[in-house]
Amino acid sequence: MGSGGKSPSVRGCGHKGVANMGGRYLVCLSLVMNVVLLTSLVYGRGHVRKKGREMVAGNQICLQERDGSGEEEHAKFCRAAGKASSCNNSSSSLPASPAKLPSDAIINLDHGDPKLFEAFWRDAVGKRGDTFIPGWQAMSYFSTNAAGTVCWFLEPSLEQEVRRLHRLVGNAEAAADRHVVVGTGSTQLFQAALYALSPPDAPHPVSVVSAAPFYSSYPLVTDYLKSGIYKWAGDAYAFNEIPRHERGPYIELVTSPNNPDGFKREQVVEGNDGKLVYDLAYYWPQYSPIISSIDADIMLFTASKSTGHAGTRIGWALVKDKEVARKMTKFIELNTIGVSKDSQIRTAKILGAISDAYERETAPESEKFFHYSRDLMRQRWKSLRDAIEFRGRFSLPEFPTEFCNFFGEEGSSYPAFAWAKCEAEEVDDCAAYLKANGILTRSGKHFGVDPKYVRISMMDRDDAFNLFIERMSKL
Ligand SMILES: Cc1ncc(COP(=O)(O)O)c(C=O)c1O
């Protein structure tokens, strides 16, 4: 090393004749590369493009979209910055594919973890959804929204892409007069909606109901904090039997298509004295024909199921009434002081990549997310029906053929979950029976119905799904 205890410095770049000149030369080269690459990133030269649409001058959000040729630039940037962790979202730093399951593995199909779409987002087409966020960006709590935006932490790019995607798909009314509220998953928005719709000073908590079989999280999430303003009141069909004057105020959750059984739903409780929250997590073309554009007061959506990005924890609500949107925003402000900007930016990019592919006239169907994902779901449902048909020990729901406005053709539903019934007389607890055969599912009892039913996730990776089909065909 250098004499006099001095550590090598930039000054050493011009120093010749020292023993480790090669090392210093590399340091210099690396520094020069840093400057060149950073300049390239900041000014958008080389192959790294800035997309004008993604520049929001007010809050200085800037995303660099990396096209195919920008990959290497990005990888170099990551190496030069020496901060692998900040570059971990690059697929180049991930293994080519997750480790394969051994053939005797327990298959966990209890959770609805949407890993089946990973393959789409890994390949060349999906890479259009990659996001790179420099360390200095999106640091503020606040977003610089257009005048009139109620949700003060909503990223403008996310709002824009949410409205654009709904326009493309035609599943829900998302024109400018609807307020967009972003949440940490639709789970947070669900709670925000309960908060916004429950009068703070009523003598009794508002009843929250949903038709059985209902999504198993509703009772848990509604009651875990023992709120004084709302409480879980169970099956909406049973609630509907109570004479009207005895019911008191209520909120009905309408989940369509429904989790767990995949059927489309309408409100169940008769009369118009209740409030409705539509949970439309699965009203996307890969799961269900899009038969109309829903125009409800509060509609909840989530990236978890629409694109498969559960890990971003982004959901959004489309809300008609400004005051309700304001109260939902207040709930999230009190709960988490907003919603991760990084996640919002990433989600905006993903949604935009989907819409872009549909706007590219020349794009083949394999590049179009909803075509790709619908075909995948259709194949999976066919495999499952084929596997259980012969022995007749399980039954599955049958779905009607409906005209899908999005695909412009007739089609069936291919839900994210299979709601299966054990038909064998000796099996009372279907989940326990499947567990004994290496398949974890969620029992019907968590959805307010008989344990002869189970909910099975159809959204795991190929290897888990294929093992599942192999086992089912032998039961
Ligand atoms: C009907 C329904 N609503 C909401 C959610 C939760 O979504 P998020 O991941 O956005 O919290 C789920 C997740 O399984 C769901 O099935």
Decide: 34 in ligand 1 pocket, CB within 6 A.
no
Please give the structure tokens belonging to residue 212.
């059985």
State residue 330's pLDDT score: 98
Number of neighbours of residue 246 by Cβ within 10 angstroms: 6
The model's pLDDT over 34-62, given as tens digits with 9 standing for 90+, comes to 444 433 433 333 333 333 333 333 333 33
Helix (H) or strand (E) holding 316: strand 314-319
Mutate to test the pocket of ligand 1, among 259, 283, 307, 313 (most ligand atoms within 8 A of CB): 259
Q: Which amino acid is at 103?
A: S
**Is residue 343 in contact with ligand 1, taking CB distance under 6 Å?**
no
Rounded to the nearest 10 degrees, the angle between the axes of helix 185-197 and helix 322-336 is: 120
Higher pLDDT, 287 or 43: 287
How far is the C-alpha of 419 from the C-alpha of 214, rounded, in Å?
Answer: 12
Who wins on pLDDT, 14 or 138?
138
How does pLDDT run across 76-91, given as a tens digit for each residue? 444 444 333 334 444 3
Return the minimum-mean-pLDDT range out of 75-89, 217-231, 343-357, 362-376: 75-89
Q: Which domains does the chain have, with CATH numbers?
A: 156-358 (3.40.640.10), 366-472 (3.90.1150.10)
CA distance 124 to 400: 35
Is any atom of ligand 1 closer than 6 Å to the C-beta of 417?
no
pLDDT at 257 over 80: yes
Rounded to 5 degrees, what are φ and ψ at 409?
A: -155, 165
Tell whether ligand 1 has an atom less than 6 A from the beta carbon of residue 210.
no
Q: Which residues pair with 455 in a beta bridge?
A: 419, 442
Rounded distance from Cα 184 to ligand 1 centre (Å): 11
* Full-model pTM: 0.81
* CA 110/CA 441 separation, integer angstroms: 4
- Tens of pLDDT, residue by residue over 388-430, are 988 889 999 999 999 999 999 999 999 999 999 999 989 999 9
Mean pLDDT over the full length of the chain: 83
Instruction: Give the whole-number percent of the chain exceeding pLDDT 90.
Output: 70
Q: Which of 115, 184, 187 to mutate to test the pocket of ligand 1 (most atoms within 8 A of CB)?
A: 187
* 70 neighbors 49 (Cβ within 8 angstroms): yes
Give distance in angstroms: CA of 257 to centre of ligand 1. Answer: 12
CA–CA distance, 264 with 328 (Å, rounded to integer): 26
Q: What is the pLDDT of residues 442-471, one digit of tens each?
A: 999 998 889 999 999 999 999 999 999 999
Give the pLDDT score at 24: 44
Q: How far, in Å, is the centroid of ligand 1 from the Cα of 187?
A: 6
